Structure 1
């Protein structure tokens, strides 16, 4: 065996000594969930609260409602798009700049943000700028001049004939509540000028004064219909890497606390978004589906799989209803106990709860397939019931149109028991059940931050363990139509929701703190 040269041995020894002298590299900080501890309230603001008597919910109305939301326990609000549009929901912009005048002004938004922040409530905005509508300045400029650079900011089939490339869901035009029809098209998100525009645009919502203080800006965004290959057409591909991730990175470089909630287009688990897109959260659609079915086995499977695909530092939004689906209070076979169980599962399971406005009252409403316009969704977007009667101030009845089903057969009725006025002082009301769940989640770190594990349980029952920093809680849901004994795994203490220890009623969910 040959001996190594002395010079080589000396050099190796010197390198070892140098390495030993270097401080150990710091372990990377664990990924941070910016939504940890939040409970979000999803507002369809045109229907929420009307402050000036014109029938349209507005920003000042949301500001006036902050004491109600604070008492409920809300820590963040999510509002649907504010930019102008010809549709009542504003998802297809006629201008990305500014605010729909029926909602108010930028000054109104600043007052709302300031008052919300003073109460510890964050403000998130919904965004869908992958498409735009006829009448948008880019559209008008391109139609007026084929040499306009805006022609390249959108995807067109036949500019000379004025035919737009197919927009969302294969549509070229939309007929809507206003009873007219307008075109829609797709924005060329990968065009360098478009990317630069949206970098500036989003930064303007986050830091409107450019002072890098963020107290006057929004705290995050919901990214509607987010896709890596937009509409699966093969024309706008690799958008996670080439559009969304760079845009999010620029915003986070100035404000690392921003939240980005991605609505996955396929309404499944969102694995691809969580692995490849720099978002904070996706929506837990499989858990939503299982909650709506009150199916213990499906819930156990969805909870387990959701946990497997959600990496540290990211989360899933847990919900029972939103602006795109029928309200749970109109589901076949629904009962007061089922409504309470759906609420409990939202608040007790791992993830970030998001409550759709009026859900806490038991507001009803179902998709109306008889309409071919966006009127079909109005039943899920009825005016928030502040009072027992429509005539009361604040009711946002913008869709009042006698002769239409969504008005003549609307779900909300005078003195139907479903309103803040009628439920506020009733300890047994659904509203006060929600208030209790908000408070319970805030009081127990195991619910906001704890690990989660599905436990073995009798058929038709769901048992889930939540653990954090020495606190262990067990959720037990009886998802059967008959009373059931409390399983031994729940221990001997009372249900933390009701304060009692009794057999579980049909469809009841309870929370226990068993002895370790």
Structure 2
């Protein structure tokens, strides 16, 4: 979440790499194919800020038709899912304060435009989930406008008022900002900002309406939701957010929501924004969310890439996944990512080092679960907060402002055009090519996207290693995090007979494995198989 809204700002088709080029770019010859998984999914979702992505009508603002026109680019990347940031009407540029839960932001298009997008995405085998913001509305929502009239309003109890809840105490807002805001002699609760009043989920009518909203969008053809501020439904204050009672009420609400969605589509995918550690996330995976974003892991992966020092990711994840499996009766799927619309972009986080960005991507895309890629990270877009600077227009062309690009806001981080689709499409060493290669690996190799992850001791702080297994298919993944060649000895993991004797895939053809000695060129990722 972590946002303060600002006011509205006014503001070509591209060649798709052939399947052969995607497979061969950055791979060893032996890594261009895999025996029985060549046609599998990638389980990669591409996060799109519609306003910044692609403009179809020349008004400078990205729109739904622009996304539709660029679906072949998403497909060429290898993603088989997209996440649309809020598309509902809102007074803010970002859309996280909704004024009509059943509408489409007029800047983005019409209901027919959305139907076309969903149909074209599904035609390409691309799932579409949408951001759903139920914790709060906009202060300009008709419900809140009516509730503000006083205690006699039919919508008064749809929000939380201090006159009914014991004054301004507690006042330690869970999101860090002052939670109470004065209006017409009373105070209302809005933990993120005064323009985002919290809904009152103790009111059954609110819960019923929010479930109906979810059902409505599933009926329109969406495949699921990214659920904003998921732990804050009843988590209003730092002093109470982690108490058992609050956590149980949050879990119960999301289970109620899931149950309602099951009436329309039992296979709908729900991923929650629970910005917390595994102990808090776990209960949400019981009959509620399929996934919750792994914020802790994102920091560890970027930190390892930036410092060129390994961490035992395999051990950490194996312990967490064991807990999640018990919490969810084995039904959870991790939601991996490096950055999103609330965080500094990867390229800025690693100081502009493209090799570090490639390493971070390699770690992300060789771990189990659904991997989420924020638009532009595959190009190496830069950006540091405030939020507008990490949500800048997507650079389709070397030169800004050409047809199809958005201009709703000037880009401060665009640079000289080398970070653009046009520039990187034909460069086999580009970050875009590396993302395509790594995502193609996931499509070809089930063990890189599903199954288990385990610890592997390599005895070299510059090399990260972990095992992957999906049924009988076993892999050992190694990343040289450093700019120096590394040689490591490969032995079977303790307690197993798995001898990893062959290179299945490599980002550098110079990698070699001879008599149990693996040579890793600088910043190289290698996947070994028995």
> Which TM-score band applies after superposition, normalised by the shorter structure?
0.7 to 0.9
2:338 equivalent to 1:320: yes
CA 1:397/1:162 → structure 2, altered by over 3 Å: closer, same or farther?
Answer: farther
Report the equivalent of 2:422: 421
List runs of 5+ in structure 1 lacking aligned partners: 1-34, 174-182, 209-216, 368-375, 401-406
2:358 equivalent to 1:340: yes
CA contact (8 A) 2:226 2:271 kept: yes
CA 1:136/1:270 → structure 2, altered by over 3 Å: closer, same or farther?
Answer: same
Alpha-carbon distance in 1 for matches of 2:287, 2:364:
25
Report the equivalent of 2:211: 199
CA 1:467/1:260 → structure 2, altered by over 3 Å: closer, same or farther?
Answer: same
List runs of 5+ in structure 2 lacking aligned partners: 1-39, 164-181, 492-499, 513-518
Report the equivalent of 2:51: 46
- State the number of aligned residues: 444
The alpha carbon displacement at 1:246 in A equals 1.1
Q: Within 5 Å, which residues of 2 pair with 1:439-458?
A: 439-458=440-459
* Aligned pair partner of 1:282 in 273, 280, 292: 292
CA contact (8 A) 2:49 2:84 kept: yes
2:138 equivalent to 1:133: yes
CA 1:470/1:299 → structure 2, altered by over 3 Å: closer, same or farther?
Answer: closer
Alpha-carbon distance in 2 for matches of 1:425, 1:270:
44
CA contact (8 A) 2:313 2:455 kept: no
Report the equivalent of 1:395: 405
* Aligned pair partner of 1:249 in 230, 234, 259: 259
CA contact (8 A) 1:476 1:510 kept: yes
CA 1:290/1:73 → structure 2, altered by over 3 Å: closer, same or farther?
Answer: same
Report the equivalent of 1:303: 317
Report the equivalent of 1:504: 520
CA 1:268/1:506 → structure 2, altered by over 3 Å: closer, same or farther?
Answer: farther
CA contact (8 A) 2:275 2:293 kept: no
Q: Which moved more, 1:48-57 or 1:504-513?
A: 504-513
Report the equivalent of 1:65: 70
The secondary structure found in structure 1 opposite 2:273 is strand
User: Deviations 1:469-498 (Å, cap 9, x if unpaired)?
Assistant: 432211012234532114324534364433
The secondary structure found in structure 2 opposite 1:379 is helix
User: Deviations 1:54-74 (Å, cap 9, x if unpaired)?
Assistant: 111111111111011111111
The secondary structure found in structure 1 opposite 2:371 is strand
2:206 equivalent to 1:168: no
User: Deviations 1:13-70 (Å, cap 9, x if unpaired)?
Assistant: xxxxxxxxxxxxxxxxxxxxxx985211011111111111111111111111101111
The secondary structure found in structure 1 opposite 2:152 is coil
Alpha-carbon distance in 1 for matches of 2:125, 2:185:
49
CA contact (8 A) 1:361 1:420 kept: yes
Report the equivalent of 1:28: none
The alpha carbon displacement at 1:323 in A equals 0.7
| Greater relative contact order (CA < 8 Å, ≥ 6 in sequence) | 2
Q: Within 5 Å, which residues of 2 pair with 1:109-148?
A: 109-144=114-149, 146-148=151-153
The secondary structure found in structure 2 opposite 1:88 is coil
Report the equivalent of 1:272: 282
2:105 equivalent to 1:82: no
The secondary structure found in structure 2 opposite 1:184 is coil
Q: Which moved more, 1:242-251 or 1:269-278?
A: 269-278
User: Deviations 1:354-397 (Å, cap 9, x if unpaired)?
Assistant: 11101111111111xxxxxxxx2111111111111112112112
Alpha-carbon distance in 1 for matches of 2:183, 2:378:
52
Report the equivalent of 1:354: 372
CA 1:36/1:119 → structure 2, altered by over 3 Å: closer, same or farther?
Answer: closer
Alpha-carbon distance in 1 for matches of 2:186, 2:522:
57
CA contact (8 A) 2:251 2:288 kept: no
The secondary structure found in structure 2 opposite 1:296 is coil
Alpha-carbon distance in 2 for matches of 1:317, 1:78:
12
Alpha-carbon distance in 1 for matches of 2:366, 2:398:
31
CA 1:41/1:135 → structure 2, altered by over 3 Å: closer, same or farther?
Answer: same
The secondary structure found in structure 2 opposite 1:85 is coil
Report the equivalent of 2:271: 261
* Aligned pair partner of 1:225 in 218, 226, 229: 229
User: Deviations 1:122-170 (Å, cap 9, x if unpaired)?
Assistant: 100011121112221001112345412100111122597254423124x
Report the equivalent of 1:483: 485
The secondary structure found in structure 2 opposite 1:186 is coil
Greater Rg, structure 1 or structure 2?
Answer: 1
The alpha carbon displacement at 1:398 in A equals 0.9
Report the equivalent of 1:462: 464
Alpha-carbon distance in 2 for matches of 1:162, 1:136:
20
User: Deviations 1:401-422 (Å, cap 9, x if unpaired)?
Assistant: xxxxxx5xx111343x111100
Alpha-carbon distance in 2 for matches of 1:366, 1:226:
25
The alpha carbon displacement at 1:268 in A equals 5.4
Q: Within 5 Å, which residues of 2 pair with 1:148-163?
A: 148-158=153-163, 161=184, 163=186
The secondary structure found in structure 2 opposite 1:138 is helix
- CA RMSD of superposed structures (Å): 2.3
CA contact (8 A) 1:240 1:276 kept: no
The secondary structure found in structure 1 opposite 2:459 is coil
Report the equivalent of 2:383: 365
> TM-score normalised to the size of structure 1?
0.81
Report the equivalent of 1:187: 199
